[in-house]
C-alpha cells in the first residue's frame, strides 16, 4: 500500500459516533493502515452535522436524484453532508486514500444501500455522500471491509 495519508471513518477507530451511539470499530483495518505507515485523519460528517444520537438516514432515489433522507421523518440531509465533505477534502488536500465504513449512506464506498421512495431496496452497491465526493476528486476509495 503506497498511501501516506488516509481519511478514515471515525467509527472504525472506535469513536461512538454512530447514529445510535454504538461502537463499530474495525481494529484489523486500522492495524493494516498503521502497519503500512499511513497517517490517519478521522472524520464523521453525520456527527459533525447532526450530533449523536440522531435519526438514521437512507439513500433514497427521488425525482430530484439521490438524496440522504432520515428514515422516519424524511428530512433531507444531503446538503450538510456534501458540504462537510467538500470542506474536509479542501482542508486536507493531500489525502490519498479514503476508507469508509461499509454500507453507510455517508461513508460507504461501494456498499451503500439505495431505496426507492416506498422503501424498496434498489441497490446495495452505491456510494455514500462523502465517499462520492472522494471519488469525484480522484482519491482511491475503499470500504473498510475490503481494505
Ligand atoms: S459511518 Fe461515517 S457518518 Fe456514520 S458514524 Fe461512521 S464516520 Fe460517522
pLDDT in tens, 109-144: 999 999 999 999 999 999 999 999 999 999 999 999
| Residue boundaries of the structural domains of the chain | 5-146
Residues with CB under 6 A from ligand 1: 9-11, 17-18, 44-47, 101, 104, 106-107
Q: Are strands 65-70 and 57-62 parallel, antiparallel or unpaired?
A: antiparallel
Beta bridge partners of 6: 40, 97
- Percent above pLDDT 90 for the chain: 96
- The three grid cell numbers given for residue 82, joined into one nine-digit string: 456534501
Residue located nearest, by CA, to atom 6 of ligand 1: 11
| Residue found under cell 439505495 | 114
Provide the 3-class DSSP secondary structure of residue 39: strand
Nearest alpha carbon to residue 32 among 103, 109, 97, 85: 97
pLDDT of residue 4: 87
Amino acid at each position: 500500500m503506497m498511501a501516506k495519508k488516509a481519511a478514515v471513518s471515525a467509527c472504525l477507530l472506535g469513536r461512538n459516533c454512530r447514529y445510535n451511539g454504538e461502537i463499530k470499530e474495525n481494529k484489523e483495518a486500522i492495524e493494516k493502515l498503521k502497519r503500512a505507515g499511513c497517517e490517519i485523519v478521522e472524520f464523521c460528517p453525520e456527527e459533525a452535522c447532526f450530533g449523536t444520537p440522531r435519526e438514521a438516514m437512507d439513500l433514497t432515489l427521488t425525482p430530484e436524484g439521490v438524496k440522504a433522507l432520515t428514515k422516519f421523518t424524511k428530512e433531507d440531509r444531503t446538503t450538510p453532508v456534501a458540504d462537510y465533505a467538500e470542506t474536509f477534502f479542501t482542508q486536507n488536500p493531500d489525502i490519498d486514500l479514503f476508507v469508509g465504513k461499509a454500507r453507510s449512506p455517508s461513508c460507504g464506498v461501494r456498499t451503500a444501500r439505495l431505496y426507492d421512495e416506498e422503501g424498496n431496496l434498489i441497490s446495495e452497491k452505491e456510494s455514500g455522500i462523502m465517499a462520492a465526493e472522494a471519488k469525484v476528486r480522484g482519491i482511491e476509495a475503499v470500504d473498510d471491509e475490503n481494505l
